[in-house]
Amino acid sequence: MAKSIQAIRGMNDCLPEQTPVWQKVENILKQVVSSYGYSEIRMPIVESTHLFKRSIGEVTDIVEKEMYTFDDRNGDSLTLRPEGTASCVRAGNEHGLLYNQERRLWYIGPMFRHERPQKGRYRQFHQFGVEVFGMASADIDAEVILMTAQFWQQLGLTDHVELQLNSLGSNEARAIYRDALVAFLTEHESALDEDSKRRMHTNPLRVLDSKSAAVQAILVDAPKLSDYLDQESKDHFAKLCQILDAAGVKYVVNEKIVRGLDYYNRTVFEWVTESLGSQGTVCAGGRYDGLVEQIGGKATPAVGFAMGLERLVLMLDTLDLNQDIAPEVDVYSVLVGEGTDIQGMLLTQQLRQTLPSIKVMNHCGGGNFKKQMKRADKSGARIALILGESEMETNQVTVKDLTGKNEQQTVAQSALAEVVATMLEN
Ligand code: ATP
Ligand code: MG
């Protein structure tokens, strides 16, 4: 026998048992984002490698060690997108959507990062993201955060996530802070771990979110970013907090949130959970006023976020919040006797036309009554339509409520849709 071929490590199949949970999450996200009037944008999965190097930053984890980069047949360096923001800005610039305009956009799709696969961390994963362009004020930061709060509410996750907020200030303020931080870290260099020693020179703010307890102990006395914020950024942050307070959205200010990517300024935020172990960030975002210009457009303020769908699905599973998922079949036909295969096909076809929102599965392949009833049960259907020889003779059909809530009825085939609709409601 030939050796079987398996999926690439860290790239998962989503099997039929799991897809209903995914569909539930995706439907809720899409419904909420459209209730805010946002428009969908779809970008390619592969982009020029330069795009990510220039936008995400050369000295970030993503660009240094996580990208799937390869040369195509022309020798051009391409990369499977590790995130959506850069592609979205690239598309916006390319099609003239951004400059001097207001755009509220969202996207959904797979992203690729070569990380060590573990629970909540994969090499192909999926993000739902929002990017808003053309607004510099704190009210739009608040709007996107309120939208995320609405997601949790609709998903039933509000009690299981916490909002952490920070302000990174302006680029100028952050540069001054960076110097102060590097001076402090240099003084304590001998006590830092290897990772932090390296980051200290390449991306010093990232030392702040080091996972090492020893490094965190040293950081207690480090200069604080909040002491370096420019007045405008302070006002911006105060306004954001004021709106969140008014809307009753709880948050904690966490000065350690700096985000891994170069492009953020001012507001940064993360929604974290304790339900998933160490992969606790389910949504992350912030303001990135410099990015559009950095990748060749005209200066345009922007704010956005991305969330990891695998982590949301895991949370719903872990917290056992998927009881409300509707079965994939409402009605299953049971066809026993001469001519019932054809009549069953026609009857169910007609039923779907009259009641397009109900899910009707027609039995195929014959078999005895008992076997077909077992299939009906296994399908999860609420109702079995039974078409036997006696029903064929009288142009009737038997409608059986498999939950036993309603009496079994034998009715005219022409009345089927009405009877099914009533039974499903009761
Ligand atoms: P982490 O600190 O967990 O590595 P990140 O800062 O790299 O996250 P972002 O680039 O901000 O993550 O991506 C936004 C969200 O996408 C994360 O909060 C997470 O929910 C999800 N995510 C990121 N990387 C992965 C991955 N490898 N597998 C699954 N989900 C991921
Ligand atoms: Mg990461």
Q: Give residue-wise pLDDT tens across range 345-390.
A: 999 999 999 999 999 999 999 999 999 999 999 999 999 999 999 9
* pLDDT reported for residue 350: 97
Going by alpha carbons, the residue nearest to atom 24 of ligand 1 is 121
Split at pLDDT 50, 70, 90, the class of 202 is confident
Instruction: Decide if 358 contacts 420 (C-beta within 8 A).
Output: yes
Instruction: Decide if 362 contacts 344 (C-beta within 8 A).
Output: yes
Ligand 1 centre to CA of 67 (Å) is 13
**Nearest atom of ligand 1 to the alpha carbon of 113:** 27
Stretch 290-308: mean pLDDT: 95
Ligand 1 centre to CA of 284 (Å) is 8
Query: Is residue 327 scored above 90 in pLDDT?
Result: no
**Nearest atom of ligand 1 to the alpha carbon of 306:** 14
Evaluate whether the domain defined by 19-170+230-318 bears CATH number 2.60.40.2550.
Answer: no
Query: Is residue 260 scored above 80 in pLDDT?
Result: no
Indicate which ligand has the atom closest to the C-alpha of 56: 1
Query: Is residue 259 scored above 90 in pLDDT?
Result: no
Q: What does pTM read for this prediction?
A: 0.92
Which residues, other chains included, contact 330 with Cβ-Cβ below 8 Å and sequence gap of 6+?
358, 359, 360, 381, 382, 383, 424
Instruction: Compute the distance between CA of residue 383 and CA of residue 377 in angstroms, rounded to an integer.
Output: 9
Instruction: Decide if 113 contacts 127 (C-beta within 8 A).
Output: no
Split at pLDDT 50, 70, 90, the class of 326 is confident
Residue 284 Cβ contacting ligand 1 at under 6 Å: yes
- The stretches of 163-223 forming alpha helices (DSSP H) are 171-187, 194-202, 213-219
Ligand 2 centre to CA of 138 (Å) is 27
Q: Which amino acid is at 272?
A: V
3-state secondary structure of 231: helix
- Per DSSP, 361 falls in state E
How wide is the angle at C-alpha 25 spanned by C-alphas 126 and 142, nearest 5°? 85
Domain boundaries, the chain: 19-170+230-318, 331-425
Find tokens 């953020």 and name the residue.
Answer: 264
**Nearest atom of ligand 1 to the alpha carbon of 120:** 29
Going by alpha carbons, the residue nearest to atom 2 of ligand 1 is 281
Q: Which CATH architecture has domain 331-425?
A: 3-Layer(aba) Sandwich (3.40)
Indicate which ligand has the atom closest to the C-alpha of 119: 1
Going by alpha carbons, the residue nearest to atom 25 of ligand 1 is 121
Q: Regarding beta strands 383-387 and 396-401, do their DSSP bridges make them parallel or antiparallel, or are they unpaired?
A: antiparallel
Going by alpha carbons, the residue nearest to atom 21 of ligand 1 is 308
Ligand 2 centre to CA of 242 (Å) is 30
Instruction: Decide if 115 contacts 103 (C-beta within 8 A).
Output: no
Instruction: Compute the distance between CA of residue 268 and CA of residue 130 in angstroms, rounded to an integer.
Output: 14
Stretch 395-399: mean pLDDT: 97
Query: Is residue 143 scored above 90 in pLDDT?
Result: yes
Q: For the ranges 34-48, 313-327, 354-368, which has the lowest average pLDDT?
A: 313-327
